[in-house]
Amino acid sequence: MAGSNFVDYVKIFFRSGKGGAGSPHLHREKFIAKGGPDGGDGGRGGHIILKGNSQLWTLLHLKYRKHIFATSGQAGASAEKTGADGEDVVIEVPLGTVAKDAETGEVLAEITEHDDEKILLEGGRGGLGNTHFKSSVNQTPRYAQPGEEGKEGWYVLELKILADVGLVGFPNAGKSTLLSVISAAKPKIADYPFTTLVPNLGIVQYRDMQSFVMADIPGIIEGAHEGKGLGLRFLRHIERNSMLLFMVPCDSDDIHQEYKTLLSELEKYNPELLDKNRILAITKSDMLDDELINEMKQDLPEIPYLFISSVAQKGIQDLKDLIWSQLT
């Protein structure tokens, strides 16, 4: 999918429907001059509802919808007839969508499962008809309750990609190449920084017809947690990954230090990311001989690691096995 088609952030003004007014109607019929109150209740206003759709992976369909309103409930009528409810507005969103109050940043709803529905804004309640206000001292109340106002405001919808494995590394670490080799995904690949401008997802086939989902997150740079480079725009996608695969090229000046820098950026953005399982893949290792690999092993972080080469298909099956063992 083209980069311009990936939208993971939209800001929309939502308004739920107003409740319908209750009816103050008094029953009138031939030969019954004073039939008493028979006004019905008003219908409730329409809700604004978010619904998960596993077939969507971007918020593109909402990019140009800046105002979304639900309809109001209908007023009550005679013969104690309740007014019709306002029509709900159901907004389908990809799994991993988070709804926030635009002013306070408060998280109001999260959608993580297909067909999962969450009411973002409730419609106003319908007003009570005059039948509810009849009493021994007031036999014919000529008033009813107005409908409750709907709710409105600016809200942000953010997408955090749901994947089993998130690829973490500086630009040119070989993340896109690995994804293209290990799955059917076709990310853009070139030998310059920030080739990947949007997250890419790939389904990795494993033994016995099993599979897992891998996400190529655009490259992190030092200071990303402060918004440098592509910064905060894509760090949030890592929050939803079950485990993290750190990728450092074998020609890095200091593999251990590069790993620590990446880890530090994640910690500064969200310390909870350090609770996820981590694996280190030293990429482009087809240029290394066994002696050099053994020497490099002396100064690697104390987490599971592998030397791989996507181009030469070196260590790819071992990497799948290691990832699967961490996921299950």
- Separation in Å, CA 29 to CA 22, 38, 78, 130: 21, 12, 12, 18
Please state, for a pLDDT cut of 70, what percent of the chain lies above it. 89
Q: Determine the length of the chain.
A: 328
**pLDDT the model gives residue 2:** 40
Which CATH superfamily groups domain 165-327? P-loop containing nucleotide triphosphate hydrolases (3.40.50.300)
Residue 23 has pLDDT above 90, yes or no: yes
Residue 9 has pLDDT above 70, yes or no: yes
Residue 230 has pLDDT above 50, yes or no: no
User: Bridge partners of 98?
Assistant: 110, 158
Closest of 55, 78, 68, 162 to residue 121, by C-alpha: 68
Q: What is the mean pLDDT of residues 256-272?
A: 88
Handedness of CA 156, 106, 214, 180 (dihedral sign): positive
Selected residue with higher pLDDT from 91 and 202: 91
**pLDDT the model gives residue 1:** 38
Q: What is the mean pLDDT of residues 290-299?
A: 89
165-327 and 1-159 share a CATH fold? no
Across the beta sheet with 97-101, the strand order is 67-69, 9-15, 152-159, 97-101, 107-111
Tell me the pLDDT band of 227, cut-offs 50, 70 and 90.
very low
| Cα 215 to Cα 224: distance, rounded to the nearest angstrom | 18
Round the average pLDDT of the chain to a whole number and report it. 86
Selected residue with higher pLDDT from 171 and 59: 59
Q: Which CATH code for domain 1-159? A: 2.70.210.12
- Please, are residues 140 and 87 in contact by the beta-carbon 8 Å criterion? no
The amino acid sitting at 246 is F
- The alpha carbon of 40 is separated from its chain's Cα centroid by a whole number of angstroms, namely 41
| Cα 25 to Cα 40: distance, rounded to the nearest angstrom | 8
Cβ neighbors of 55 (< 8 A, separation 6 or more) are: none
| Cα 317 to Cα 305: distance, rounded to the nearest angstrom | 14
Q: What is the mean pLDDT of residues 191-216?
A: 73
Q: Give residue for tokens 């929309």.
A: 12
Residue 196 has pLDDT above 60, yes or no: no
**pLDDT the model gives residue 256:** 93
Closest of 70, 95, 107 to residue 85, by C-alpha: 70
**pLDDT the model gives residue 328:** 81
Tell me the pLDDT band of 288, cut-offs 50, 70 and 90.
confident
Selected residue with higher pLDDT from 187 and 23: 23
pLDDT digits (tens, 9 = 90+) for 40-95: 999 999 999 999 999 988 898 999 999 999 999 999 999 999 999 999 999 999 99
Domain residues of the chain, as ranges?
1-159, 165-327
Residue 197 has pLDDT above 60, yes or no: no
**pLDDT the model gives residue 247:** 92
Tell me the pLDDT band of 12, cut-offs 50, 70 and 90.
very high
pLDDT digits (tens, 9 = 90+) for 101-155: 999 999 999 999 999 999 999 999 999 999 999 998 898 899 999 999 999 999 9
Q: How many CA atoms lie within 13 A of 37 on its CB side?
A: 22
**pLDDT the model gives residue 265:** 82
Selected residue with higher pLDDT from 78 and 35: 78
Q: Give residue for tokens 């190449």.
A: 177
Q: How many CA atoms lie within 13 A of 62 on its CB side?
A: 26
User: Terminus-to-terminus CA distance in the chain, angstroms?
Assistant: 31
